[in-house]
Amino acid sequence: MKKIIFFVITIFLISLVLASDEISIATNSMYSFSDSISTHEKAKTVGELEQMISDNQEKINTEINKLTKNKKIVYENQKEIQQAVYSLLSMESLLPAVGILVSDIGRQLNNSFQITTSAEENILSRSSFSHLLFGGDFNSANEIESEINSNKERISILRELNLRSNGSTEVQNILEEQIKNIEDEQARLQEIVNSEKSSKGLFGWIWK
């Protein structure tokens, strides 16, 4: 009898935790971070490009400061990707022969950014009790890992395009800096994936 009561209580607690997490995630999904590439312009000179990047960084920081705790953490973590996307699109006209290809990669990275920020939000939105019971968020971790793999290919393409471009040394250096920022972010995301997948929880084995 005691085992049955314990089992019923356990199932009840599990259902409460799952419901709490679903509400938290649903609430988060209602927020739409302003897309800094929606009204972007193409720089005509290196100086203009540098100023545009600087202004956009200030805009990103201002918008991040308006966010609630978990969102602020996520977008602060991933703001270098958002900045990189803006930079790749803005420098299109300064990279003869490959500019359109570079900006296309920028748009792909923007789509990836939307996926990874949402997945990281889901991970942070889970309660510590839920994490204790069920371990890491494998679904969100897998989503992030899939984007990491795709972004590694995009990084390789960007480096190849930078070598092929006839842009000035200054523009090539700016592009390489953005590539490095994208690369560093993939390493940070991989740490999240590893952490989530290594956390099994008390009942995680039931679903994993």
What tokens were used for 152? Answer: 């590694």
Is residue 135 predicted with pLDDT exceeding 70? yes
Residue 7's pLDDT is 42
Residue 201's pLDDT is 61
- How is the chain split into domains, by residue range? 41-206
User: What span, in angstroms and rounded, lies between the C-alpha atoms of 132 and 146?
Assistant: 25
Average pLDDT, the chain: 81
- Contact present, 36 and 86 (Cβ < 8 Å): yes
What tokens were used for 201? Answer: 């929880």
Q: What is the mean pLDDT of residues 68-85?
A: 90
pLDDT in tens, 12-50: 344 444 444 443 433 343 334 444 455 568 999 999 999
Residue 69's pLDDT is 84
Band of the pLDDT at 166, cuts 50, 70, 90? confident
Higher pLDDT, 155 or 33: 155
pLDDT in tens, 93-106: 999 889 999 999 99
Q: Position of tokens 């800094």?
A: 36
